[in-house]
Amino acid sequence: MNISPHTIGFDIDCVVADTMSAFIDLARKEYDVTIKPEQITSFQVEKCLDIPPRIIQDIFSRLLEEPLESGLQPMDHAVSVLTALSIEAPLTFITARPTKKPIDRWLHTILGESVYSKINLIATGEHDGKLPYIKNAGLHSFIDDRVPTCLELAENGFQPIVFSQPWNRGKHDLPSVENWLSIQDLFLNHGTKAQ
Protein backbone atom coordinates (compact mmCIF):
# COMPACT_ATOMS: atom_id res chain seq x y z
CA MET A 1 0.00 0.00 0.00
CA ASN A 2 1.22 3.44 -0.86
CA ILE A 3 -0.71 6.26 0.72
CA SER A 4 -0.28 9.99 0.40
CA PRO A 5 -0.07 11.85 3.72
CA HIS A 6 -2.55 14.33 2.22
CA THR A 7 -5.36 11.80 1.92
CA ILE A 8 -5.28 9.99 5.26
CA GLY A 9 -7.14 10.68 8.50
CA PHE A 10 -6.99 9.17 11.94
CA ASP A 11 -9.39 8.06 14.64
CA ILE A 12 -8.12 9.01 18.09
CA ASP A 13 -9.16 6.50 20.77
CA CYS A 14 -7.31 3.19 20.48
CA VAL A 15 -5.41 4.48 17.43
CA VAL A 16 -3.54 7.65 18.44
CA ALA A 17 -4.41 7.36 22.13
CA ASP A 18 -3.86 4.19 24.13
CA THR A 19 -7.35 4.36 25.57
CA MET A 20 -7.47 0.67 26.41
CA SER A 21 -4.40 0.86 28.68
CA ALA A 22 -5.75 3.98 30.37
CA PHE A 23 -9.09 2.22 30.92
CA ILE A 24 -7.36 -0.82 32.43
CA ASP A 25 -5.11 1.35 34.65
CA LEU A 26 -8.01 3.42 35.96
CA ALA A 27 -10.04 0.27 36.68
CA ARG A 28 -7.15 -1.16 38.71
CA LYS A 29 -6.10 1.97 40.57
CA GLU A 30 -9.45 3.57 41.28
CA TYR A 31 -11.89 0.67 41.38
CA ASP A 32 -9.65 -2.29 42.32
CA VAL A 33 -10.79 -4.20 39.23
CA THR A 34 -8.29 -6.23 37.20
CA ILE A 35 -8.84 -6.45 33.44
CA LYS A 36 -6.58 -8.08 30.86
CA PRO A 37 -6.42 -6.60 27.33
CA GLU A 38 -7.47 -9.92 25.76
CA GLN A 39 -10.71 -9.84 27.79
CA ILE A 40 -11.85 -6.80 25.78
CA THR A 41 -13.25 -8.78 22.87
CA SER A 42 -16.06 -6.37 22.02
CA PHE A 43 -16.02 -2.70 21.09
CA GLN A 44 -18.85 -2.39 23.60
CA VAL A 45 -16.86 -3.27 26.70
CA GLU A 46 -19.96 -3.78 28.86
CA LYS A 47 -20.70 -6.83 26.71
CA CYS A 48 -17.45 -8.60 27.49
CA LEU A 49 -16.46 -7.46 30.98
CA ASP A 50 -18.12 -8.59 34.17
CA ILE A 51 -17.92 -5.15 35.78
CA PRO A 52 -20.82 -3.03 37.03
CA PRO A 53 -21.95 -0.75 34.16
CA ARG A 54 -21.69 2.23 36.53
CA ILE A 55 -17.93 1.71 36.88
CA ILE A 56 -17.48 1.34 33.12
CA GLN A 57 -19.47 4.53 32.61
CA ASP A 58 -17.42 6.38 35.26
CA ILE A 59 -14.13 5.38 33.66
CA PHE A 60 -15.28 6.36 30.17
CA SER A 61 -16.58 9.72 31.42
CA ARG A 62 -13.22 10.49 32.95
CA LEU A 63 -11.36 9.53 29.79
CA LEU A 64 -13.71 11.70 27.73
CA GLU A 65 -13.77 14.74 30.00
CA GLU A 66 -10.29 14.68 31.53
CA PRO A 67 -7.98 12.72 29.25
CA LEU A 68 -4.84 14.43 30.53
CA GLU A 69 -5.73 14.11 34.21
CA SER A 70 -6.76 10.47 33.81
CA GLY A 71 -3.37 9.52 32.39
CA LEU A 72 -4.28 8.88 28.75
CA GLN A 73 -1.05 8.29 26.81
CA PRO A 74 -0.31 8.21 23.09
CA MET A 75 0.38 4.84 21.44
CA ASP A 76 4.05 3.96 21.03
CA HIS A 77 5.64 5.91 18.14
CA ALA A 78 2.38 7.76 17.36
CA VAL A 79 3.87 11.16 18.17
CA SER A 80 7.06 10.69 16.12
CA VAL A 81 5.17 9.36 13.07
CA LEU A 82 2.54 12.11 13.28
CA THR A 83 5.29 14.70 13.65
CA ALA A 84 6.96 13.44 10.47
CA LEU A 85 3.63 13.36 8.61
CA SER A 86 2.78 16.90 9.70
CA ILE A 87 5.75 18.16 7.71
CA GLU A 88 4.14 16.72 4.55
CA ALA A 89 0.49 17.52 5.12
CA PRO A 90 -2.06 18.74 7.66
CA LEU A 91 -3.21 16.07 10.14
CA THR A 92 -6.92 15.25 10.28
CA PHE A 93 -8.39 13.50 13.31
CA ILE A 94 -12.02 12.40 13.34
CA THR A 95 -13.27 11.12 16.68
CA ALA A 96 -16.67 9.92 17.81
CA ARG A 97 -16.15 11.75 21.10
CA PRO A 98 -19.08 14.06 21.94
CA THR A 99 -16.92 16.93 23.17
CA LYS A 100 -13.98 18.37 21.34
CA LYS A 101 -12.27 20.56 23.92
CA PRO A 102 -10.75 17.95 26.28
CA ILE A 103 -9.24 15.85 23.49
CA ASP A 104 -8.10 19.01 21.70
CA ARG A 105 -6.18 19.97 24.83
CA TRP A 106 -4.77 16.45 25.02
CA LEU A 107 -3.58 16.59 21.39
CA HIS A 108 -2.04 20.01 22.01
CA THR A 109 -0.11 18.61 24.98
CA ILE A 110 1.15 15.40 23.41
CA LEU A 111 1.92 16.79 19.93
CA GLY A 112 3.42 20.11 20.97
CA GLU A 113 2.78 23.55 19.53
CA SER A 114 4.19 23.24 16.02
CA VAL A 115 2.53 19.90 15.13
CA TYR A 116 -0.69 20.98 16.84
CA SER A 117 -0.81 24.04 14.57
CA LYS A 118 -1.17 21.62 11.62
CA ILE A 119 -4.16 19.67 12.92
CA ASN A 120 -7.80 19.56 11.98
CA LEU A 121 -9.90 17.93 14.73
CA ILE A 122 -13.50 16.85 14.21
CA ALA A 123 -15.67 15.43 17.01
CA THR A 124 -18.76 13.79 15.53
CA GLY A 125 -20.48 12.71 18.75
CA GLU A 126 -21.52 9.30 17.43
CA HIS A 127 -19.83 6.07 16.47
CA ASP A 128 -21.78 5.70 13.24
CA GLY A 129 -21.55 8.18 10.41
CA LYS A 130 -17.88 9.18 10.13
CA LEU A 131 -18.07 8.73 6.35
CA PRO A 132 -19.44 12.21 5.43
CA TYR A 133 -16.80 13.88 7.61
CA ILE A 134 -14.04 11.86 5.97
CA LYS A 135 -15.46 12.77 2.56
CA ASN A 136 -15.78 16.48 3.40
CA ALA A 137 -12.22 16.57 4.71
CA GLY A 138 -11.08 15.41 1.26
CA LEU A 139 -9.59 12.19 2.60
CA HIS A 140 -9.42 8.79 0.94
CA SER A 141 -7.88 6.62 3.68
CA PHE A 142 -8.76 6.37 7.34
CA ILE A 143 -7.32 4.42 10.25
CA ASP A 144 -9.83 3.25 12.86
CA ASP A 145 -10.17 0.37 15.32
CA ARG A 146 -13.94 0.01 14.89
CA VAL A 147 -14.88 -2.58 12.26
CA PRO A 148 -18.33 -1.19 11.25
CA THR A 149 -16.74 2.21 10.53
CA CYS A 150 -14.06 0.59 8.36
CA LEU A 151 -16.59 -1.59 6.52
CA GLU A 152 -18.78 1.42 5.72
CA LEU A 153 -15.76 3.20 4.25
CA ALA A 154 -14.78 0.20 2.13
CA GLU A 155 -18.35 -0.16 0.83
CA ASN A 156 -18.24 3.47 -0.31
CA GLY A 157 -14.97 3.30 -2.18
CA PHE A 158 -12.69 4.63 0.56
CA GLN A 159 -9.59 2.89 1.91
CA PRO A 160 -10.01 1.90 5.55
CA ILE A 161 -7.10 0.54 7.54
CA VAL A 162 -7.99 -1.30 10.74
CA PHE A 163 -5.77 -0.60 13.74
CA SER A 164 -5.50 -4.08 15.30
CA GLN A 165 -7.03 -4.44 18.74
CA PRO A 166 -8.38 -7.46 20.64
CA TRP A 167 -11.96 -6.53 19.66
CA ASN A 168 -11.35 -6.41 15.91
CA ARG A 169 -8.92 -9.28 15.29
CA GLY A 170 -10.37 -11.94 13.00
CA LYS A 171 -13.53 -9.92 12.45
CA HIS A 172 -12.73 -8.45 9.03
CA ASP A 173 -10.76 -8.99 5.81
CA LEU A 174 -9.59 -5.40 5.49
CA PRO A 175 -5.99 -4.17 5.50
CA SER A 176 -4.74 -3.69 9.05
CA VAL A 177 -1.80 -2.31 10.98
CA GLU A 178 -0.43 -3.56 14.30
CA ASN A 179 1.30 -0.38 15.42
CA TRP A 180 2.59 3.05 14.37
CA LEU A 181 5.77 1.70 12.80
CA SER A 182 3.53 -0.18 10.33
CA ILE A 183 1.60 3.07 9.79
CA GLN A 184 4.87 4.80 8.96
CA ASP A 185 5.55 2.11 6.33
CA LEU A 186 2.32 3.04 4.53
CA PHE A 187 3.99 6.29 3.46
CA LEU A 188 7.44 4.90 2.60
CA ASN A 189 7.22 5.89 -1.04
CA HIS A 190 6.44 9.44 0.04
CA GLY A 191 9.71 9.73 1.93
CA THR A 192 8.10 10.31 5.31
CA LYS A 193 10.25 8.97 8.10
CA ALA A 194 9.97 9.56 11.83
CA GLN A 195 13.19 10.68 13.50
Nearer to Mg ion by Cβ, of 13 and 152: the residue is: 13
User: What residues does 159 pair with on adjacent strands?
Assistant: 141
The question of whether 128 is a catalytic residue gets the answer no
Decide: 11 and 165 in contact? Cβ < 8 Å.
no
Nearer to Mg ion, 93 or 187 (CB): 93
Least gap, CB of 98 to Mg ion (angstroms): 14
* In contact, 77 and 181? CB cutoff 8 Å: yes
50 is catalytic: no
Least CB distance from residue 32 to Mg ion, whole Å?
27
To the nearest whole angstrom, how small is the minimum distance from the Cβ of residue 78 to Mg ion?
13
Catalytic residue among 13, 18, 104, 145: 13
- The alpha carbon of residue 130 and the mean position of all alpha carbons in its chain are separated, in whole angstroms, by 13
Residues that bind Mg ion (CB under 5 A): 11, 13-14, 145
Cβ-based nearer residue to Mg ion, 84 or 162: 162
Handedness of CA 127, 98, 100, 178 (dihedral sign): negative
- Considering the complex, state which of residue 11 and residue 18 has its C-beta at the smaller distance from Mg ion: 11
Which DSSP string do the residues of 45-86 spell out, in sequence order?
GGGT--S-HHHHHHHHHHHHH-TTTTT--BPTTHHHHHHHHH
Q: How far is the CB of 96 from Mg ion (least distance, A)?
A: 7
Nearest to 15 by CA among 155, 195, 149: 149
Which residues are tagged catalytic? 11, 13
